[in-house]
Amino acid sequence: MDVVERANLERQRRWVKDQKVGEGQYAVVYRGREAATGRKVAIKKIKVGQFKDGLDMSAIREVKFLRELSHPNVIALLDVFSAKTNLNLVLEFLDSDLEMIIKGCPTLFLPADIKSWIAMTFRGLEFCHRNYILHRDLKPNNLLIASDGQLKIADFGLARDFADPGSKMTCQVITRWYRPPELLFGCRYYSSAVDIWSVGCIFAELMLRIPYIAGESDMDQIKKTFMALGTPTEQDWPGHKKLPDYVPVGNFQRTPLRDVFTAASTDTLDLLGKCLLYEPRRRISAKEALSHPYFFALPYPTHPSKLPKKALPVVNSKALEEVDGNVDLTGPGPAVKANPPNKGLKRKLSEDEVGRSIARKLDFGSVGDTSM
């Protein structure tokens, strides 16, 4: 046994897999622990043998980016080891996510609570963007919540670097309800602004407690976006009619944000509006957002330890998984029709089903476009 094999065996022995909590096409997720300390972890076993040319690109990217990123608001990759034909990722254990809290928490969200979650999201995202990494799948169930209330960005399976501004990228990323209009129109050259749009949609969802723009197809998503924010003009979004998949979709007047978010402050609406600008180059950056007056006005952000926690988790969010073809691992239960998703039937989850729900966030999706 050479030095590399011996080191790998030592790492393998450090972690114990206790229980399988989820399985997708490319990975199995276990609830595990550190043998010496009993610390809880999540262990993702990637099925290397599933791929003709070795590892799936999403697996390579997630390992690469999580090794480069160390931040309180980004999920931590603790270790990597191989076993037979499998690659195992050891991740910090997180038992909740923002989607669970939005849909399962019975208490009212205070403006200070929303400000805290959005601040942590922007901090983690600013760190990603500062390191030239696009996340490309921000949504509430990819924002995991630690036991101390800290929010952590997870699931970097669709992430990629953007150091070269001329790189051609796939537009088939980001779950539909959080996908910006430039991607819906087939844009292949884009920037960190795509993540900012997603944060804007999450911001709106925290205030509404239902998804802000929830289309049932890509065309319906465009239509609902225009219905909410108005059909863009050349002044609003220069050149958008030249995008590869552009099609005219109605002529809708913008609904003022004040009419939708009636209790929001002026600063809140200003930041939200700057996240949801049609012209990507005009959208606020994560760095600029963290300096926005919204975060410095009263009320100040709630301390993470005092944020609302999930109550009894419920199955009422399958629509989010079905919209983009993601694999659902929450076990048998009633499907829920989208828009609005919280009108569906609800049932209590067992501890194992809660684990499987979190495992879904740790699983890899598949993307057919290799020019990602």
At 132-187, the pLDDT tens digits run 999 999 999 999 999 999 999 998 888 998 877 678 999 999 999 999 999 999 99
Give pLDDT, residue 299.
95
Residue 103 has pLDDT above 70, yes or no: yes
The dihedral formed by the CA atoms of 303, 39, 32 and 318, expressed in degrees to the nearest 10 = -10
Give pLDDT, residue 341.
38
Give pLDDT, residue 167.
81
Reported as a single tens digit per residue, the pLDDT across 301-320 is 999 999 998 764 444 444 33
Start-end of H helices in the chain: 3-14, 57-68, 98-104, 111-130, 181-184, 193-208, 218-229, 257-260, 266-275, 286-290, 318-323, 351-362
Q: What is the DSSP letter of 109?
A: P
Residue 222 has pLDDT above 80, yes or no: yes
Give pLDDT, residue 87.
85
Phi first, then psi, for residue 294 (nearest 5°) are -50, -40
The dihedral formed by the CA atoms of 322, 75, 192 and 159, expressed in degrees to the nearest 10 = -60
The candidate with the shortest Cα–Cα distance to 191, out of 163, 210, 226, 217, is 163
Residues 65/133, Cβ–Cβ less than 8 Å: yes
Per-residue pLDDT band for 322 (boundaries 50, 70, 90) equals: very low
Do 3-94 and 96-306 share a fold?
no
Q: Which of 95, 137, 155, 363 is catalytic?
A: 137
Residue 353 has pLDDT above 60, yes or no: no
Give pLDDT, residue 333.
34
Residue 198 has pLDDT above 50, yes or no: yes
Is 113 labeled as catalytic in the residue annotation? Answer: no
Query: What ranges do the domains of the chain cover?
Result: 3-94, 96-306
Give pLDDT, residue 234.
95
What length is written for the chain?
A: 372
Give pLDDT, residue 343.
38
161 DSSP β-pair partners: 133
Give pLDDT, residue 145.
95
The model carries a pTM of 0.81
Tell which CATH architecture fits domain 96-306. Orthogonal Bundle (1.10)
Give pLDDT, residue 300.
96
Per-residue pLDDT band for 21 (boundaries 50, 70, 90) equals: confident
The dihedral formed by the CA atoms of 145, 148, 152 and 157, expressed in degrees to the nearest 10 = -60
Reported as a single tens digit per residue, the pLDDT across 246-274 is 999 989 999 999 999 999 999 999 999 99
Which CATH number describes the domain made up of 3-94?
3.30.200.20
